[in-house]
Amino acid sequence: MEYTNTPAASILSERLSQLDYLLQCVSVQPYSIPLRLKIAKVYQSLGYPDLAIGEAYLALVLLDEISDEGEYYEQATEAATADAAATDSLIDQPVGKEEPLIWAMKCWSNTAYTILVDCLINCACLRSAFDYNSRALKAFPESAVFKAYKETLSTILHAYCKTKNINFQDLDVQDYPDRGFVRRELYPWNKHEPDRYAPETLEFLNEEIAVIAPKLEVRVTELPILSPENASNEKTPSDQSPSFVKQLGVFAKEDLAPGEEILKEKSILTAVGRLHDSFCDACSASLPNSRDEGKESPIPCEECDEVFFCSPQCHELSSLYHPALCDVSFDLSGVPAKEAADSLYSLLLLRALAMAETQDMHPLDLKEVKFIWGDYHGLDLPKVWKTDSDGQLADPFGGVPQTLPFSFEANILRPLHMLEKMDINIFEQSPRYSFWVFNTLYSKFRGTASARQGLDGRPEVGAVHPLWCLANHSCDPNVRWEWQGSIRFWVREKLVEWEGRPETERPGLKEGEEVLSHYCDVRLPVRERREWAVGALGGNCMCRRCVWEEAKEKRKADTV
Ligand SMILES: C[S@@+](CC[C@H](N)C(=O)[O-])C[C@H]1O[C@@H](n2cnc3c(N)ncnc32)[C@H](O)[C@@H]1O
């Protein structure tokens, strides 16, 4: 990354170097509370309040380990005693006769709560902020800082009630909003992201795709940059020429006939949010009922007997993730319906962490994850990141847009809980299983995962098919797909009917033509299609059918 000579850019560069140094230190001193707090402060000063929350929370966990004599009592106490004796441990000198360790712990606890509450408010996690501020006020009843946060929270919550037209007194703490958006970013220190357009990347992806789709290849292509505003009534997209961005796409290597099956991909990066014995644990195919005659019976895991596989192949593939999860139950089936989709992303995260642990790899180096699209903001950080002349951030995110959904539960607590269930030491392994790694995985999954609903309309199964998801979208697709365990593409035998299509067009793909999938129900009218696909596309669809149909609607409206 190039750092221009603006004052903000050099401050950014300095803070990133500081972070780099502290991250190296924490890999050798994973139980150091002041070090966790220093990292939290640097994240905060860089405009990543979400990452600061994670480190401040770890500092609180370490403090609890000492006070409650928890599993890591010895390591945490040893580190804290050494830190309390050191001079640069973020604390004032002890007053009176208080023991240095007790005094230091009080100071660290105060700092941890301050960072946590401030950042939770900035990330719109108001219920969690309220909860931690109440605990802080119990520990430090006279603190002007926590009293001020109480006021701030009350003001924000009153304003929230006003917009929702509800009485503040009627709002239960459990119903306080607790979810916001944070920066969706290729973090400057992330060394795991490949150059997706480099010849060696394309060579690797084409070797992989040759196995499951011998007539297709991955190529670099150009796509219009989409934004949610570009179809608003004031600006007509067809009047503007969109800017383009380099991305990957899937192309035909030879002429493909209508009806031909051209891709069949099985993935183990799957998530099942319902009863485990109804779906193959590896590929998520529905399992045959025990009464289904002539069907092979599901194969159980011989160790835990809790998960089942649809075939010997899936049973074998489970050796790539299941050892880390064998006998571990992580049930999210009880989450409220409105959180069901988010919980599938968490289960995909769990699968990726289990794959990394079983294969002893960094999660971002897994081949199923490494090359997939993270839909990062793509802005030049040294140019967009903003501070004033004193180095104060323009806003808690440094002026950088926020599009990644974030909650304390999904991005901090749940991943740590998953690691603990897999018996992973959350302190010593924090360089590999870090909060920015969870965010990066969530960014990738949100850009590419498919979900299938159950009969009640609730998202039930999710999966990332790393090669299939390289295909781009059109509301006039040339393939159709089906997902039942494996995902399959067929060349369409019948093209979608819409008025603007040139009459000469026939189904089938010519050599070199792009495979165009669909991310929404293409039977719907343009407005509904765009609403459906906006999340997956990052903006309103600008395919030729959408542009044509929107123009027609506009002409119709103008004549009325
Ligand atoms: C599942 S990925 C598709 C593969 C992606 N192009 C890549 O490089 O890996 C989805 C992303 O591709 C882009 N995309 C797909 N179809 C598009 C279209 N018709 N117009 C513009 N962008 C599109 C959007 O950025 C979207 O977030």
How many angstroms separate the CA atoms of 535 and 231, rounded?
14
Q: What is the pLDDT of residue 7?
A: 83
Distance 224 CA to ligand 1 centre (A): 9
38: closest CA among 13, 61, 15? 15
What SS3 state is found at 403? coil
Distance 317 CA to ligand 1 centre (A): 29
Atom of ligand 1 nearest to the CA of 473: 16
Distance 469 CA to ligand 1 centre (A): 9
Task: Say whether the ipTM exceeds 0.85.
Answer: yes
Distance 473 CA to ligand 1 centre (A): 7
The model's pLDDT over 204-230, given as tens digits with 9 standing for 90+, comes to: 999 999 999 999 999 999 999 887 655
pLDDT band at 294 (very low <50, low <70, confident <90, very high): low
On whether the CB atoms of residues 426 and 438 are closer than 8 A, the answer is: no
525 residue type, one letter? P
Q: What is the pLDDT of residue 236?
A: 43
Percent of all residues in the chain with a pLDDT value above 90, rounded to a whole number: 79
Higher-pLDDT residue of 263, 238? 263
How many angstroms separate the CA atoms of 463 and 348, rounded?
7
117: closest CA among 155, 145, 154? 145
Distance 264 CA to ligand 1 centre (A): 20
On whether the CB atoms of residues 350 and 421 are closer than 8 A, the answer is: no
The model's pLDDT over 510-551, given as tens digits with 9 standing for 90+, comes to: 999 999 999 999 999 999 999 989 888 888 999 999 999 999
Domain at 196-374+433-560: CATH code = 2.170.270.10
Q: Where in the chain is the domain with CATH 2.170.270.10?
A: 196-374+433-560
Which residues have any ligand 1 atom within 6 Å of their CB? 223-224, 226, 247-249, 373, 375, 447-448, 469-470, 472-474, 537-538, 543
DSSP string, 465-488: -TTGGGSEE-SS-SEEEEEESEEE
Instruction: Among 196, 247, 516, say which to mutate for ligand 1: greatest number of ligand atoms within 8 Å of CB.
Output: 247
Distance 226 CA to ligand 1 centre (A): 10
Radius of gyration of the chain (CA): 26
Instruction: Among 373, 443, 444, 478, say which to mutate for ligand 1: greatest number of ligand atoms within 8 Å of CB.
Output: 373
Torsion angles phi and psi, residue 285, rounded to 5: -65, 150
Task: List Cβ neighbours of 386 (8 Å cut-off, separation of 6 or more).
Answer: 8, 393, 394, 398, 399
Tell me which range, 4-18, 330-344, 355-369, is most confidently predicted by mean pLDDT.
355-369
Check whether 122 has a pLDDT greater than 80: yes
Check whether 90 has a pLDDT greater than 80: no
557 residue type, one letter? A
How many angstroms separate the CA atoms of 410 and 431, rounded?
19
On whether the CB atoms of residues 16 and 189 are closer than 8 A, the answer is: yes
Distance 324 CA to ligand 1 centre (A): 33
Burial (CB < 10 A; 0-12, 13-18, 19+), residue 351, is buried
- Give the chain's mean pLDDT: 91
Cα dihedral sign, 219-222-228-231: negative
Q: What is the pLDDT of residue 6?
A: 82
Atom 4 in ligand 1: which residue has the minimum CA distance?
Answer: 470
Atom 27 in ligand 1: which residue has the minimum CA distance?
Answer: 537
Structure tokens at 169: 């007194």
Atom of ligand 1 nearest to the CA of 226: 21
CB atoms within 10 A of CB 293: 6
